[in-house]
Structure 1
Amino acid sequence: MEEHRVILAADVEDYTGRNRHDQGRLQAALVGALDIAGTAAQLRVADWDRQKQGDGQYVVLPAGTDPATVLGPFVKALSKHLRKQQTATFRIRVRLAVHEGLLSLDGANGYPGDHGVQPSRLVDAQPLRDALASCPEAALGVIVSERVFNDHIGQRPGSPRRDQFRRVDFEAKNRPYVGYIRVPGHNVHALALPSAAAQPDPRPPASGLNITGMGSNVAVNGPQTNHQTFGR
C-alpha cells in the first residue's frame, strides 16, 4: 500500500560520546521535545508511526498532514522547547530532516523506496552537521528536501521565507543529494560549511565586461582587456 506522507527524521548531536545515563536523558529529552512540539502544532501525535533509533527517531506523520504546519508551527515550537532545555550541565542539540512523497507502508522492515530513504540521508548530511558546529548557540538545525523547498517554502502566508534557507549539495551512499538548510534564529548564510559543494554565484559578474557579437565574431570589451575579437 502506498500513500503520500510527510516524513521526519530527527537525530541528537554528540550522542555516542555521552555515558549511559546521559544517553538515557537525551533519549527522553528528544521524545519529549517532539511530542510537545507536535502537540503544539496539532499534528495528531498519537497517530505518528515512529521508528525508535536510540539517538534519533524516524517519524511518518498521519495522512493529510499539511507540510506548512510542520515547517512553521512545529519547527518553531521544537526550536523553542529545545532552547529551554539547555542548562549549564545538560545540552541537547537536534538535527531535523523534513521530506514528503509517496511512501510504501507495507515494507517488511521499514519503508522501501527513495522517499523512505531520503529523510535519513538528509538528517545525516555533513553540511547540516557543519551548520550546527559553526553555530554553537543553536539548539536545532533543519534540512528539507528539494521537493519540500520547491513546493512549500515561501509559497503561502506564514511559511518560512526562502531566503532563510541555504542550498547544499552533498553525497551519501555514493549518490548525490540536494537539501536546504535552516538554523532557526540564526543567519545560515553566514555559517561556514566546508563540506558543502560550491554553488555558482547567481549574480552577474562585477567585472564590467561587455560581450557583443555572435558566432565566430565575438568582441569583449572591459577594464581588463583591450578590444579583442575572436574568430577563425
Structure 2
Amino acid sequence: MTDPMHRTILLFDIERFGTRDDVEQAYLRRLLYEVVDSTLLKADIHETARLRADRGDSVMELVDAQASVPTLVKTLLTETPALLHSKNRLMAASAQMRLRIVLSSGYVAVDELDGWVGSDLNHAVRLLDSDPLRDALKQREEASVLCVSDGIYRGVVRHGPLGVRPDDFHRITVETKEGPTVAWLHGRPASSGPAAADRAADPSAPHTGTTSSGPAAIDLSGASFGGSYVAGDQHGVSGQGRVTGDVHLGGGSTGPGEQK
C-alpha cells in the first residue's frame, strides 16, 4: 500500500439513475464524463493531476493537492451548472441529468489492489449519499447541488475568494453511521426542519461530529470484480488508468454500479 497522500476529493452522483433503462443509463454515463472532464479542465486541472474511480452512476476524483481549490469551487458554482444547462436543454425533461456534488479533502492511500483507502474518503461518500443533499436537489429547479465539507468551508469558502460568496452557503448536520457531522450546502436552506435550525446556529461552532471509525477500501482492480465496499456499503467501481505522481489506477470497466 502507498503512503496516504493529501488530495482534494470531488464526487458526482446522478439523481434517479436506477429508474432509467439501459439505453438512458449508458447515455447519462457518457454525459457525466463530459461534464466532469469539462469542469476539471475549466478549473485548470488536467488528467495528469487527478485519479478517477467509476461507480456506474457516480464518478469520484482525487485531485492533486497542488491544484487551486478556490478555482475549483468557483468552477463548480458557475461552469458546471452552465454545462448541465447546455446539455439538458436539448433533452426531454424526463431524460435530463441532475447531479449531487461533494467537494472535500483528506488523506487517501492506494492499496496493492488499486483500491482507495481512507476515512476522509468514506466521510465524503457519506455526504454524497446523505438525505439533506438528496432533499436539496429534489426541492430545487437547478440541475445540480453542491455540498462542501466543513474543512473546505473553513479553509476556503468562508474567506470569500473571487467568485465565491460565503453567505450563499448554509450549515447542515448530516447523520452518518459514525455520528453527526457538519457540512455546508450551497443555495437557499429549507424553510423549516434541521437545515433551517443549523443555519441559525453559530457558524463558528466547532465541528463535533466524527467522520469515520476507520478506513475502508474501494476496489478498483480490473474488470472482473462484482463491487467493493465503502465502510459497509457496496459500490461498483472501476479504474480509468490515469497516472499522477507515483499513483496509478489500473484499467478496466464495469456496468452501472449502485443504483439509487
Interval of TM-score (by shorter of Structure 1 and Structure 2): 0.7 to 0.9
C-alpha separation in 2, matches of 1:105 and 1:161: 35
TM, length-normalised to structure 2: 0.69
Q: Does 1:177 align with 2:181?
A: yes
Q: Does 1:129 align with 2:134?
A: yes
CA drift of 1:83 comes to 1.3
**Corresponding residue SS for 1:54:** coil
Among 125, 133, 143, the alignment partner of 2:147 is: 143
Q: Which amino acid aligns with 1:128?
A: L
**Corresponding residue SS for 1:198:** helix
Corresponding position of 2:106? 101
Corresponding position of 1:117? 122
Distance of aligned partners of 1:75 and 1:197 in 2 relative to their CA distance in 1, 3 Å threshold: closer
* Matched-pair contact (CA < 8 Å) for 1:153–1:159: no
Corresponding position of 1:55? 57
Corresponding position of 1:25? 27
CA drift of 1:10 comes to 0.8
Structure 1: tracts of 5 or more residues without a match: 204-232
Corresponding position of 2:197? 198
* Matched-pair contact (CA < 8 Å) for 1:7–1:61: yes
CA RMSD of aligned residues (A): 2.2
TM, length-normalised to structure 1: 0.77
**Corresponding residue SS for 2:19:** coil
**Corresponding residue SS for 2:59:** strand
Among 70, 91, 94, the alignment partner of 2:96 is: 91
Structure 2: tracts of 5 or more residues without a match: 203-260
Q: C-alpha offsets along residues 23-68 of structure 1, whole Å, 9 cap, x if unaligned? A: 1111111111001111112111344211100100111012411211
Distance of aligned partners of 1:172 and 1:109 in 2 relative to their CA distance in 1, 3 Å threshold: farther
CA drift of 1:162 comes to 1.3
* Matched-pair contact (CA < 8 Å) for 2:29–2:56: yes
Q: C-alpha offsets along residues 83-113 of structure 1, whole Å, 9 cap, x if unaligned? A: 1111325310000000112222346463323
* Matched-pair contact (CA < 8 Å) for 1:104–1:116: no
* Matched-pair contact (CA < 8 Å) for 1:152–1:159: no
C-alpha separation in 2, matches of 1:193 and 1:80: 29
**Larger-gyration structure (1/2):** 1
C-alpha separation in 2, matches of 1:20 and 1:192: 37
Count of residue pairs brought into register by the alignment? 197
Among 167, 170, 181, the alignment partner of 2:171 is: 167
* Matched-pair contact (CA < 8 Å) for 1:127–1:193: no
Distance of aligned partners of 1:202 and 1:145 in 2 relative to their CA distance in 1, 3 Å threshold: closer
Compare relative contact order (CA 8 Å, sep 6+) and give the higher one, 1 or 2: 2
CA drift of 1:5 comes to 0.9
Q: Which amino acid aligns with 1:131?
A: A
CA drift of 1:172 comes to 1.9
* Matched-pair contact (CA < 8 Å) for 2:10–2:104: yes
Corresponding position of 1:69? 71
CA drift of 1:159 comes to 4.6
* Matched-pair contact (CA < 8 Å) for 2:127–2:174: no
* Matched-pair contact (CA < 8 Å) for 2:9–2:60: yes
Which shifted more, 116-125 or 152-161? 152-161
Corresponding position of 1:8? 10
CA drift of 1:192 comes to 4.8
Q: Which amino acid aligns with 1:104?
A: A
